[in-house]
Structure 1
Amino acid sequence: MAKQDSELPITSASSSNNYLAKDNSSGNNPNALWMSPTALLSKGHLLQEVDPKRATLPLAAYCFMTGFIDSVSFTAVFIWCGFQTGNSVQLALALARLFSGPPGQRDTTFHLPDQQALTSILTFNAGAAIGRVGDKIGAKTRLWLFLGTMIQAVFTMSAALTAWKSGQGSIADNRGDPAWTNALTFVAIGFLSASLGLQGIMGKRVNTQFATTVVLTTVWCELMADPKLFQLRRHIISRDHKVIAIFALFFGGFVGRALIDKIGAASTLGVGTGMRVLIAVWWLFVPGKIN
């Protein structure tokens, strides 16, 4: 009977040895804890595609960063930089408001939250468009996964600097009184959204159960629809990786908010920058795909 794609393959000792032999031929031992800089930065190593089935940890870290960054933007302005469904509906409601009420008494003001939602949508898509560069290099190559994640780190660092220079607070008391209102904080929202837009298309191109690593509505639906959801004694990738993605995003939001309360939004984003750099380096050690 053919092996189901949603289950981990069980390999014999001989097939495992063959795998190691093939992988060692490209200079990458998946069991090695250290690799010489020469091998790590070699052209062959950098341009080799990673094995999506063995990229669980950095993809889970991507999901963590979604929750982490969204906790900053939502706490300050009640805008989700990674979840553009809500921002799109918000703009639809803003447009509908133009036709609400009798002529001459209609609210034609472009409200601040709507301006921030539009900023997030536009910059999110701009960041996602940068991800098309990876299609030229190789969307699953270590080189692009490293460079793309470093670009995300630069965007996050830029958001941290602009939030710091804005001189504004980190926590909004209510939706009608956002903590971020000036031009620099709009720039911060833009950089945060662009970082998640780029992360989203990179996660999608790896093509795993983590999906985009940004929006988890589909992941929730697919998890609930998984026919093997309650087979708890078996390791089912299609189920388990979705659970990991959901938990990682939840935990990222928790950690982000906890840091905001202690050190503020700008410093929290500084910590997020360091995390993105670590994830970028992490991609260099993900085992390669065996043809």
Structure 2
Amino acid sequence: MSGSDDAGTIASPRQAQSFWNYLNTEVDTKECTGPLAAFCFMTGFIDAISFSSVFVWCGFQTGNFVQLSLALARLFSVGPGGAIDQTFHKADQQALTSLLAFNLGAFIGRLGDRIGSQKRIWLVFGTFLQTLFTMAAALTIWKSGQSSVADDRGDPSWTNALSFVCLAFMSMSLGTQGIIGKRLNTQFTTTIVLTTVWVELMADPRLFYRKKVITRDHKLIAASSLFIGGFVSRAILDKIGSAGALGVGTGVRLLITVSWLFVPGKKAASVSKSAK
């Protein structure tokens, strides 16, 4: 009886050590299609929520950056009667919030360079961080009491301080997601900005091949996933509001977190080759 108990106590640390070693293995980036497609889905999902309320794309920082340049240009624009618009418009404040928070999230993602950008433990932890950011966004917009859909660009539905915090958390989640996607170095690129994906897709010399072409097919999967994410998000938003939609997004991110545990690892030969 005691022998079986001893065996049980001895096996437990070994199993824990084995699982820790498993977490510290690198994933095979060729097998990451599922989680990365889900990342693209979440880009569309998050962007649909922010655009519906404040007309800001949390993942499209090019547009936000240009918007800030236009805000600065207004200072040099003389209106009728010599009036100069010196106000910092609410839309410009929201664009700046999204831009700064996105870059903060991406900067936090640099932690993966210390841990190992393709190690399973970082992919799990980094995606779990995105889950926490999305959950925080859901809680803050719920507490804000703001409506979910704006009727006009000049009248955003999110205007109070808590809604700005929500926008920041949403942008941070995509910033961290983007650097994780970038470091995996696949056809999905950052999983955030699809302009480059569209250009590379149109420039692909094997665009019209009937057979399987990874460089083309994965880009199509990325674009389709983002489109579906936006569609699903808006449908949910109309039914249960932005807090509920972000709650659903939190659940999806948690599923992506778990999915990294099942992505096949790199084969020993490829790992030793990359180490050299």
* TM-score for the superposition, normalised by structure 1: 0.85
Report the CA distance shift for 1:38/1:170 in structure 2 as closer, same or farther (over 3 A): farther
Report the CA distance shift for 1:146/1:96 in structure 2 as closer, same or farther (over 3 A): same
Aligned equivalents of 2:176, 2:17: Cα separation in 1: 24
Identity %: 65
Aligned equivalents of 2:230, 2:15: Cα separation in 1: 38
The correspondence for 1:59, drawn from 36, 47, 55, is 36
| CA positional deviation for 1:41 | 6.8
The correspondence for 1:80, drawn from 54, 57, 81, is 57
Aligned equivalents of 1:40, 1:62: Cα separation in 2: 30
Deviations 1:175-201 (A, max 9, x none): 011110000000000000000000000
Deviations 1:87-124 (A, max 9, x none): 00000000001100169511000000000000000000
In the TM superposition, 1:182-221 aligns within 5 A as 182-221=160-199
Aligned equivalents of 1:108, 1:240: Cα separation in 2: 48
The correspondence for 2:68, drawn from 73, 79, 91, is 91
What SS does the corresponding residue of 2:262 show, helix, strand or coil? coil
Aligned equivalents of 2:100, 2:17: Cα separation in 1: 36
Report the equivalent of 1:26: none
Report the equivalent of 1:119: 97
Q: Name structure 2 gaps, 5 residues minimum.
A: 1-13, 271-276
The correspondence for 2:209, drawn from 231, 244, 261, is 231
The correspondence for 1:263, drawn from 240, 244, 254, is 240
- What is the one-letter code of the residue matched to 2:265? G
Between Structure 1 and Structure 2, the one with more helix by share is 2
**Does 2:120 correspond to 1:142?**
yes
| CA positional deviation for 1:223 | 0.1
Deviations 1:202-249 (A, max 9, x none): 0000000000000000000000000000002x1100000000000000
The correspondence for 1:252, drawn from 225, 229, 239, is 229
Aligned equivalents of 2:20, 2:143: Cα separation in 1: 40
Q: Name structure 1 gaps, 5 residues minimum.
A: 1-36
Q: Which moved more, 1:38-47 or 1:201-210?
A: 38-47
Deviations 1:51-72 (A, max 9, x none): 0111000000000000000000
* TM-score for the superposition, normalised by structure 2: 0.90
Aligned equivalents of 1:63, 1:39: Cα separation in 2: 33
| CA positional deviation for 1:43 | 1.9
